[in-house]
Structure 1
Amino acid sequence: MLYDMNNIITRFTYVFVILLVISIRARAQSSNDLGSLTLEQCIEIAQEQSAVSSAARYALISNRWQYKSYKADLLPSISLTGDAPNYDKSIFSNVLDNGEVTFSSRTQSEASASIAVEQNILPTGGTLSLSSGLTRLGIFEGENTYLWQSTPMVVGLRQPIFQFNNLKWRKKTETLQYEIAQKEYVEEMENIAKTVTQRFFDVYLAKINLQNAKLNVTQNDSVYQISKGRYKVGSIAENDLLQTELALRNAESNLTTARIEYERTLNEFKILLGYSTDTQLKLRDPKEPPKISVNIEKARQLALKNNSESLNYKLNEIQADRSLAQAKSEAGLSATLNVNYGLNQTARDFADLYDRAENRQFVTLGFDVPIFNWGKQKAQVNAARNQQREVANSVQFQRRQFMQQVDYTVSQFLQLRGQVLLAAKADTIAQRRYQVAQNRYKIGKIDITNLFIAQDEKDSARRAYIRALRSFWTGWYNLRELTLYDFKEDEPISYEL
């Protein structure tokens, strides 16, 4: 009885382990099987997890932190500085009243600490500061002596005069550069959508070619069998029989080629989406193109407003103006005004340090006037001025080219839907013609050459229809990338990190 129980437990354990292994494999297979995906689902997957989309997100995050660094320069900053213990034991020369030189020694320490608040002044480029400090001097000779010095409050102003205001120009460039970075991120997402669309239809076309190749093998084999029967009864010549056999062998070869091409394009598409090549994936048939109305003038305005290339033209102009302003300021008179006003006091006892504090004033005006430098400043100003003119003319030409590109893209897109409809109609006619030709060949109404011509036209029409769909959806996402606007939903395009 005990032996039977052990045997039952052993068998139960064995069955449980097998079921567990089967369950784990089933889960692994299900997690590795994406099922059938539409074009929109493939685009969404690539925008979420592909390597290209991750790189675009990191680039935008980097620009965001850089912009935050600039914004921090506009806010007050607090700093704490100090020295401790700053101990000094040394021998130094000392000149007496009678001119005799002697050597003396000293041992002392000087420790200090100060805290300051600084605020940049954007309109003038100056700096306003508020500080407070404390210093202790220790003299170690015989009886140790300590002296204290305090600056309870010092208000300071450092103001450049006739100098280049870098902070003011940074406000223009940094804000625009961050806006460009945001636009570039959206454009990269739309570029991913366009790339996925192109690869999607490459895979779909390879799939259609494989289906046609399989169908052609089956149909050519049927034609070959019919031709062998007709040849036996003498109704066709040997040349026609050989032609049907050759067509069958070519169809079999094309099937092998089509299968290899489909596997290649499908694996490349999986990698583009961020998956390994062993992932199971099927593509659903693409949607018919919707009717979308696009106004050319509106597209021009949106492209000028939203496209990063258009914004870069504006940035180039600002940077050229900045270089000219800097060259002019460096060529003329420049000065710096430093003004400090506050309180200070000294005492032997720390308790008396802040009693009856005395005024502390400091004013200085430093200046720099170029007198003669062999025309260096004039050359730098002329160089910057002509560079500004060069940029202005170049940007004007580039803007015209850009607007021409927008016009062409919109005009081309408006014709693509009509091309898809024509290609779909041609595909339907070619499929029907082949069916008629096949039936007529079976009853001996047409020869084998006309049948194969109909077969080639059938395959060509189907490929042309797929290519027309590819051109439409690629053109759609190209228009979105150019204007950063969804004309179908009539709203701007945006993506969150």
Structure 2
Amino acid sequence: MFQKRILVSIILIFLSTVFAHGQKQNLTLSQVLDRAQSNSLDAFIQKNMYLSQQWEYKAYVADRLPNLSLAVTPFNYNRSFTQRYNSITDKDEYREQQSMYSYTRMSLSQNIGLTGGTIYVDSDLGRLESYGEGSSKSYSSTPVRVGLSQPLFGFNEFKWQSKLEPLKFEKAKKEYILNLQNVNVTAVGLFFDQVLAQLNVEMDSSNQINAFALYEMGKKRFKIAAIKQNELLNLELNVLKAKTNLAKSLKELQQTRFNLNVFLDFNENELKHLILPDDVPKLIVDVTNALELALKNHPLLMEEQQNEWEADMQVDKARKARHFQANLVASYGLNQQSETFYNAYQNPLNQQKVQMSLEIPILDWGKRKGNYKMAQSDREVIRLSSKQKQIDFKQEVSRKVIDFNLQGELVYNAQRADEIARKSYQVTLELFKEGKASVLQLDDALNKQDQSKEEYITSLKNYWEYYYTIQMLTFYDFRSGKALKAELGI
């Protein structure tokens, strides 16, 4: 009865495997990477993060362009009692007042990045109408007015923005490409996880069939005293172990397939059969060249430059805050008022305004000086930290390149070891069938075959993870000899 159950289970597994294989779609590593770039949630998130940075940069550019605005107050109606002086009775008294006020203003302004000030040209028109006793109507116009608002000797934020914002945008471009390459590294890991799970299912299915056949053969040999009872028990134990291993590997395949399908935005129940990339390119990456490319392209250095400039900005801000603050406001225009709209624009009079405001710190108990010293200390910390990060980055790039260059040889050795282990198991299996090898020798050959296959897949995984990590660090495809680019437009 036991033998029949095993045989039935083997047949069912075989039939289900054949049926499922007919429904599978074969995918290569390059196809998986293409899908990851176009459909994965990670790639979608990175694209939208970049678009957010792009709109932020466009807002900065817009701040540097002339700004035209229109302000309108269509009506402002007021009805209330107001205090008035009556010269006849020589008393203050409350009188009802009704008025309607309307106002419009058009202004063209421009920020001055060099000085941090703002220059503007505007024109406005106001209309005031009073109701009740002593009703009246009048207009006030400013046909044109030119003005300037200029901080003197103060902190110029526009100047620092002109340095920082273009750098931040270039860094955002690099980070977008970097993050897309990181998607590749993640996809490679998930790809080989499923490949290994597929392989384990295939090996465990074959091992179960072989274990059952060897157990049947062992029972016959035991009857004629060709093997000992403990060897027969080991063969039976191998059958049970093979069933357990197959169940575990099927579960692992289901989980790895689910992980990859979710990452690539496939239907969770779709069966994708992955093709192992055996063709490893014979590629050696020059360490010096890789370092030059990494230092030129990686956003880490841009980020450190940004941190240093921001620290310099805080020092400049704290230094200028220690001294007096002055602001100059000046304007010149034409102004007129009249009871009629037409006359409000006739023979306008000159209008001038000049204002100087000062703010002088007298006693702050060393607060401004402390802020300045603290900003200086923070700047030194950032500069030292930046140097250390650059050293660490160079070491990381060099180490990854060296590991990659060695990994090609390791893949070749693992592939050769896998071929030898597979042949060794076949030879040992034939010897066992002829009665010239023991069960322990057969088990040892089987374990070496399974282990060598797993080590070969792992070495391939490491090879491609190293390659795409180097590609991510250098922004360069060493197989095609081309720099990495990405579609960055909205």
Return the TM-score normalized by structure 2: 0.90
Distance 1:98 1:33 in 2: 106
Distance 1:107 1:451, change over 3 A: closer
Amino acid at match of 1:195: T
Q: State whether structure 2 residue 54 is matched by structure 1 residue 61.
A: no
Aligned to 1:276: 267
Partner of 1:35: 25
For the residues of structure 1 that align with 2:435 and 2:73, how far apart are their CA atoms? 108
**Which digits, 9 at most, give the CA deviation of each residue in 1:413-453, with x for residues without a partner?**
11111110111111111111112222222223322221221
Q: Distance in 2 between matches of 1:82 and 1:199?
A: 60
Task: List per-residue Cα deviations over 1:122-148 (Å, max 9, x = no partner).
Answer: 111110100011112223355643222
Give the 3-state SS of the residue equivalent to 1:288 in structure 2.
coil
For the pair 1:423 / 2:414, whether they are aligned, the reply is: yes
1:102 match: secondary structure: strand
Which is further off, 57-66 or 417-426?
57-66
> Which residue number in structure 2 is paired with residue 52 of structure 1?
42
Q: Aligned partners of 1:303 and 1:48: how far apart in 2?
A: 25
Query: Do 2:86 and 2:93's aligned partners in 1 also have CA atoms closer than 8 Å?
Result: no
Secondary structure of the 2:334 match is strand
**1:140-188 deviation digits (Å, cap 9, x = unpaired):** 3556432222111101111111111112212222222222222222222
364-373 or 153-162: bigger deviation:
364-373
Distance in 2 of aligned mates of 1:186 and 1:99 = 84
1:304 to partner: Cα distance: 2.4
> Which letter maps to 1:316?
N
CA shift digits 1:255-300 (9 cap, x unpaired): 2222222122112221121123211321112242212232222222
> What residue is the counterpart of 2:66 in the other structure?
76
Partner of 1:446: 437
- Are the equivalent residues in 2 in contact too, given 1:427–1:465 (CA < 8 A)? yes
Shift in Å at residue 72 of structure 1? 1.1
Supply the distance in 2 between the matched residues of 1:98 and 1:92 (Cα, whole angstroms). 18
Residue identity opposite 2:250 in structure 1? R
Deviations 1:337-381 (A, max 9, x none): 111011112222322222222211111111112122211111110
SS in 2 for 1:85: strand
- Identify the match of residue 466 of structure 1 among 450, 457, 461: 457
Q: Please provide the CA RMSD for this pair.
A: 2.1
Given that 2:149 and 2:328 are in contact with CA atoms closer than 8 Å, whether structure 1 keeps it comes out as yes
Q: Residue 361 of structure 2 aligns with which residue?
A: 370
1:94 positional shift = 4.1
The question of whether the paired residues in 1 share the 8 Å contact of 2:152 and 2:325 is answered with yes
- Inter-partner Cα distance in structure 1 for 2:442 and 2:401: 41
> Does the 8 Å CA contact 1:153/1:343 hold for their aligned counterparts?
yes
**One-letter amino acid matched to 2:210:** Q
Contact 1:304 1:311 survives alignment (8 Å): no
Distance 1:460 1:442 in 2: 23
Tell which deviates more after alignment, 102-111 or 181-190.
Answer: 102-111
Between the aligned partners of 1:229 and 1:137, the Cα distance in structure 2 is: 117
Q: Where do residues 112-131 of structure 1 align in structure 2 (5 Å cutoff)?
A: 112-131=103-122
Q: Secondary structure of 1:82's partner?
A: strand
Does residue 318 in structure 1 map to residue 305 in structure 2? no
Check 1:104–1:227 CA distance in 2 against 1; reply closer, same or farther (3 A cut).
closer
Match of 2:396 in 1: 405
Q: How much does 1:195 deviate? A: 1.0
8 A contact 1:327–1:384 mirrored in 2: yes
Please list every run of 5 or more consecutive structure 2 residues that lacks an aligned counterpart in the other structure.
1-21
8 A contact 1:305–1:311 mirrored in 2: no
CA distance in 1, matches of 2:369, 2:223: 100
Residue 4 of structure 1: aligned partner: none
Q: Is the 8 A contact 1:93 1:101 kept in 2?
A: no
Q: Does 1:252 align with 2:238?
A: no
Q: Amino acid of the residue matched to residue 174 of structure 1?
A: E
Query: Is the contact between residue 201 and residue 253 of structure 2 (CA under 8 Å) also seen in structure 1?
Result: yes
Query: Matches of 1:303 and 1:227 in 2, distance apart?
Result: 62
Identity %: 31
| Closer, same or farther: CA 158–99 of 1 in aligned 2, 3 Å | farther
> What residue is the counterpart of 2:342 in the other structure?
351
- 1:136/1:218 CA distance change after superposition, 3 Å: same
Kept after mapping to 1: 8 A contact 2:178/2:472:
yes
Aligned residues, how many? 466
1:463, CA displacement in angstroms?
0.7
Aligned to 2:11: none
The match for 2:124 is 133
The residue number in structure 1 matching 2:10 is none
Residue 17 of structure 1 corresponds to none
What's 1:304 paired with?
295
2:185 matches 1:231? no
**Structure 1 contact 343–358 (Cα < 8 Å) conserved:** yes
- Give 1:96 shift: 6.7
Q: How does 1:200-239 map to 2 (within 5 A)?
A: 200-239=191-230
Q: Please name the residue that 1:395 is paired with.
A: 386
Contact 2:293 2:474 in 1 (8 A): yes
Contact 2:235 2:439 in 1 (8 A): yes
**1:166 and 2:169 are equivalent in the alignment:** no
- The Cα offsets for residues 431-479 of structure 1, whole Å up to 9 and x where unpaired, read as 1111222222222332222122111111111111000000001111111
The amino acid of 1:487's aligned partner reads F
Consecutive unaligned residues of structure 1, counting only runs of 5 or more, are 1-31
**1:209-239 deviations in whole A, cap 9, x for unaligned?**
1111111122223322332232222222222
Q: Which amino acid is the alignment partner of residue 215 of structure 2?
A: Y
Amino acid at match of 1:450: Q
Deviation at 1:104, TM superposition (A): 5.9
